[in-house]
Structure 1
Amino acid sequence: MKKPLAILLLCLAPTLFSACSNDDPEPQTISTPDPVGALTSLKTGTITPQNGTPTRGTLALVRDGQNQEFVQLNMDFTSDFHTGTVTIYLAKADTRIGAQRTAAATNVKAVGFVNKNGQQFLRLDGSSAGFSHIVFYCETAEINFGAAPLQ
């Protein structure tokens, strides 16, 4: 019984260790400039890890002095990026992004890539209105790394 399990794990190893590489499809919106002027907090959230990943920390949706919205990952944000990048999405639920996107393209909105821990800002293309979650998703492995309900 142990031998078939060992063979299965060896076969899956390349897939498991190549997930979330820099070859993931680019989101439509990639963060560019940092916020300008005073920031107004619109909503906040605490990230819950998903699918055995160590993604956690706090975040906020903020608006800068030029009325531009951003996802702000706070100093306590951490994840494991040894395989590359993870895509951040605005979403209508904390369920798998692929399933939400299949149900209706308007259920999710790509924000950008994240590949480091700590504070960072990711500019939104448009508004966060109508979205209730921030989800960290690996396109290659098709799993959520974490999600934060917005309050």
Structure 2
Amino acid sequence: MAEGSSLLKVSIDFSQSHLFFPNIIHWILLILIVLIALTKGPAFVRSLKDRKDNQTAKKSKTDWMRLLGTIVLTIIYFSLMETVGDFFPNMGLGFLLTSIPFMFLLSILYVHEPGRRELVTITLSSIISPTVAWYVLAQMFNITLP
């Protein structure tokens, strides 16, 4: 081992720091896809075969409002994230300030029977989840966020 190096010390080049978290996510997603394919794949293939054999199976209706709403909200979310982040450079607040309303609106879009309890839960999770993610990534690990 070289002098001054340690197993507990991690060094990340700042110019490459924005690639650190996405690489971890890519590997996690790849592992999860393989696990899903191995555990659920055979049953899924059988269900497709059964559906093909049984042409009288009902077609499920597409919920266009939720589908298009999700697409529109996602496009707006990613479009605004960098714009908002430019007002507060290198603080990750673009991520935080756009994630809160995005999560809130997306949750409202998918809740079937919104009541007081659901709205409180949605509001709290829309504030707490992005704040915790922002704190852990931007503050604790100094990962650059938009």
Q: Give the TM bin, normalised by the shorter chain.
A: under 0.3
Between Structure 1 and Structure 2, the one with more strand by share is 1
Structure with the greater alpha carbon radius of gyration: 2
Greater relative CO (CA pairs within 8 A, separation 6+): 1
